Amino acid sequence: MSSQELLSQASVRAAAARIGEHDHCQAGGAIGVSGALAAALAQATANATRSAQPTPAQDVAAAQMQATMARCRAEFLQLADADANAILEFVALEERGEPLAGYALLCNGPRAMADLAIEAALAMQAFRAHVCARSRDDLEFALTLMTGVSRAALQLLDSNLRIWPLPDLLAAYEPHVTRLLSAIDALTPVRRIRA
């Protein structure tokens, strides 16, 4: 797979090879693809619910879940692709004498991924009351994965702020870090299936 090909257009095998065989760590790409897969799994639980003779309320909730997870899946893939190009954009901004804009670019991606992961996880938690019995555990797997995505995205943002502890950057993003920490702490993935 060439480095110009979008991560979202690669096979899973090719995307994993691109990330694993590169000498530059593509954390944002890995996080974005992971979020897309977690959203896909949650979408499948809604599909299963709609195929299992649901009640009218279940069907409405499952239809909303299908739409929400399809959108989240697409947005995660867009963010993964954007992250792959962010370094090039960052270098171009530095060369134009706009380093702060470059740093902000590298912070916006993980912040957006964390927000999207939290949104998706909250939708999964709300869907617990409606998911069909045969997909209940699968929804929990998806929620656990998505909670991990939210934490990884926050860690990436935090890492960028550690690398570039500029007052303007910290002033802009510390409120996001505080907000995201609180939102992630409110997520409730189960610790065990057989509780």
Is 193 a domain residue?
Answer: no
Is 4 a domain residue?
Answer: no
How far apart are alpha carbons 120 and 118 in whole angstroms?
Answer: 5
Is 140 a domain residue?
Answer: yes
Query: What angle do helix axes 27-50 and 12-20 make, rounded to 10 degrees?
Result: 160
Instruction: Domain of residue 96: give its range.
Output: 9-185
CATH number of the domain where residue 34 is located: 1.20.120.680
Yes or no: say if 180 and 115 are a contact pair by the CB < 8 Å rule: yes
pLDDT digits (tens, 9 = 90+) for 140-167: 999 999 999 999 999 999 999 999 999 9
Is 192 a domain residue?
Answer: no
Query: What angle do helix axes 167-185 and 136-163 make, rounded to 10 degrees?
Result: 160
Is 66 a domain residue?
Answer: yes
Count: domains in the chain: 1
* Average pLDDT value for the chain: 93
pLDDT at 2 over 50: no
pLDDT digits (tens, 9 = 90+) for 104-137: 999 999 999 999 999 999 999 999 999 999 999 9
Is 194 a domain residue?
Answer: no
Identify the CA nearest to 65 among candidates 53, 55, 73, 77: 73
Indicate the pTM of the whole model: 0.93
